A = this chain, B = another copy of it.
Amino acid sequence: MTAYSDLMEYQRQTEALGQIAGRLGWDQETMMPRGAADQRAEEFAAIEGVLHARRTDARVGDWLIQAEAPDAAGAAQLRLIRRSHVRATRIPARLAQDLARLTSAAQGIWAAARKDEDVAGFLPTLAQVIALKREEAACLAGTGDAYDALLDDYEPGETAATVSAMFDAMRPRLVALRGAALASAHQPADLDAAFPADTQLRLSRDLAAAFGYDWNYGRLDLAVHPFSSGSGRDVRITTRVVERDPFNCFYSTIHEVGHATYELGIDPDYALTPLGAGVSMGVHESQSRIYENQLGRSRAFTGWLHARMQDAFGDFGVSDADGFYGTVNKLREGFIRTEADEVQYNLHVMLRFDLERALISGDLAVADLEAAWNDRFRADFGQVVPRPSAGMLQDVHWSVGLFGYFPTYTLGNLYAGCLHQALRRDVPDLDASLARGDASPATAWLREKVQRHGGLMPPRDLIAQAAGFAPHAGPVLDYLERKFGAIYRL
């Protein structure tokens, strides 16, 4: 027991330092004066150096050999600490530094290339990033698959093969649903009004409260790209405001409330331990997506939102609640993943998943990426990409080395579909609450079934025990076909 408690005490401080690093990131995106960027980079490097040294500390290896877990939760703690220790020790410090330096610079090069529509200006840097990520993957994978090693970092236990099997089942039905909806004669109305920023933010706070966000442990600020930040008792959210598109603000807020409510819903006994954070990116996204889409974009909840928007903004041109529900959920032709609706979003993600696997394996040369992207986009979306910023230059992810991250977005949607099916089974009168702007029965169910467990179970096991069945693509597809079939009268 001494080795176990020594290790947990040591780990507790590492987790606290990790929280500090996360808070610095929040500060950078919300509060930091512009001129402080260079100094902040040095501060990040310093605390990341401390974290890396702690994770690779030889004492951790010794404790892990000697420690005996007192219970199942303790065994899970040891499993997660071992995972972090092994990962950190496998990556040479030189490689970690090279990656940090390159991806930091690459982000600026990508941003400039996107602005100038300059693919050629970005490709050499992207090639360097891929080379280092392949080197990193080789350190992590040993004799295993390189892409799987990268994916496992975000979604423990998943492989390209398991994800592909699920995605392959989804793609044809999504392509068909997309085509039918866009071709339908029954198109919902568009918004065409200005919505004052202050009022959007005030209503955002009401939405956060409706979904149970606890202001005692969080706050809402503005950010260019909304995100949530932190674990334990300090989990902050951000949103953005576009004057003519209030749904951007409202659904960004609900999405981030989903992430934050997950973290805040974890058993407080796990605070500042490896179990005290969301277990994977996919499960995290399942929480943000079920709040945003299955609940927040439901007919019942949009009915309440419609009335609130009329109270706040007066007549804004969509006067009946059924029409409003269609407007909230309307599909639009577009090239940008982050602006996509529930149906098309996953097709964007699958495109990136297939291309990034080919880039990491070497089957796709960086020089051929743009053509491959544009071909695939035409196949799934039936449109010609008009410019690189609407195509392969639109996302920051690859420039900062996030290979293996994209599939967790759609995995989250798939998990959300499973959870939503079970939630409706267990809480049959949920719509009555949602129609009153009260999502608390859903939050109570999600907290009990998913959130409170933190990192206790592997992601897929967690979803399976919550839903009562092994996760698969059926529920989210059925849900999408039913919902959009009704809206578009298909």
Q: How far is the CA of A20 from the CA of B236 in the complex (A)?
A: 18
CB < 8 Å: which of B32, B39, B45 contacts A271? B39
- Is A20 in contact with B24, judged by CB distance below 8 angstroms? yes
Q: How far is the CA of A283 from the CA of B47 in the complex (A)?
A: 30
B residues near A40, Cβ cutoff 8 Å: 234
12 contacts between A and B (CB under 8 A): A12-B42, A13-B49, A14-B46, A16-B42, A17-B43, A19-B43, A20-B46, A32-B234, A35-B214, A35-B217, A39-B233, A50-B50
A71 interface hit (Cβ, 8 Å):
no
- Is A35 in contact with B219, judged by CB distance below 8 angstroms? no
A23 interface hit (Cβ, 8 Å):
yes
Restricting to A13-39, which residues have a CB under 8 Å from any CB of B? 13-14, 16-17, 19-20, 23-24, 27, 31-36, 38-39
A143 interface hit (Cβ, 8 Å):
no
A232 interface hit (Cβ, 8 Å):
yes
- Is A219 in contact with B20, judged by CB distance below 8 angstroms? no
A441 interface hit (Cβ, 8 Å):
no
Q: How far is the CA of A38 from the CA of B40 in the complex (A)?
A: 26
A215 interface hit (Cβ, 8 Å):
yes
- How many identical subunits does the complex contain? 2
Q: How far is the CA of A38 from the CA of B23 in the complex (A)?
A: 15
Q: How far is the CA of A19 from the CA of B45 in the complex (A)?
A: 13
Q: Could you tell me the distance in whole angstroms from the C-beta of A50 to the nearest C-beta in chain B?
A: 6
A275 interface hit (Cβ, 8 Å):
no
Q: Could you tell me the distance in whole angstroms from the C-beta of A24 to the nearest C-beta in chain B?
A: 6
Q: Could you tell me the distance in whole angstroms from the C-beta of A124 to the nearest C-beta in chain B?
A: 31
Q: Could you tell me the distance in whole angstroms from the C-beta of A13 to the nearest C-beta in chain B?
A: 4
Q: How far is the CA of A215 from the CA of B31 in the complex (A)?
A: 12
- Is A233 in contact with B38, judged by CB distance below 8 angstroms? yes
B residues near A217, Cβ cutoff 8 Å: 33, 35-36
Q: How far is the CA of A47 from the CA of B17 in the complex (A)?
A: 7
A279 interface hit (Cβ, 8 Å):
no
Q: Could you tell me the distance in whole angstroms from the C-beta of A314 to the nearest C-beta in chain B?
A: 25
A338 interface hit (Cβ, 8 Å):
no
Q: How far is the CA of A31 from the CA of B26 in the complex (A)?
A: 11
B residues near A38, Cβ cutoff 8 Å: 233
B residues near A31, Cβ cutoff 8 Å: 31, 219
- Is B36 in contact with A17, judged by CB distance below 8 angstroms? no
Q: Could you tell me the distance in whole angstroms from the C-beta of A75 to the nearest C-beta in chain B?
A: 24
- Is B23 in contact with A232, judged by CB distance below 8 angstroms? no
B residues near A32, Cβ cutoff 8 Å: 234
- Is A16 in contact with B36, judged by CB distance below 8 angstroms? no
A359 interface hit (Cβ, 8 Å):
no
A216 interface hit (Cβ, 8 Å):
yes
- Is B50 in contact with A232, judged by CB distance below 8 angstroms? no
- Kindly list the 6 A-B residue pairs having the minimum CB-CB distance in the complex, ordered from nearest: A36-B234, A16-B46, A35-B216, A13-B46, A35-B217, A39-B233
Q: How far is the CA of A50 from the CA of B16 in the complex (A)?
A: 11
Q: How far is the CA of A486 from the CA of B243 in the complex (A)?
A: 56
Q: How far is the CA of A40 from the CA of B230 in the complex (A)?
A: 12
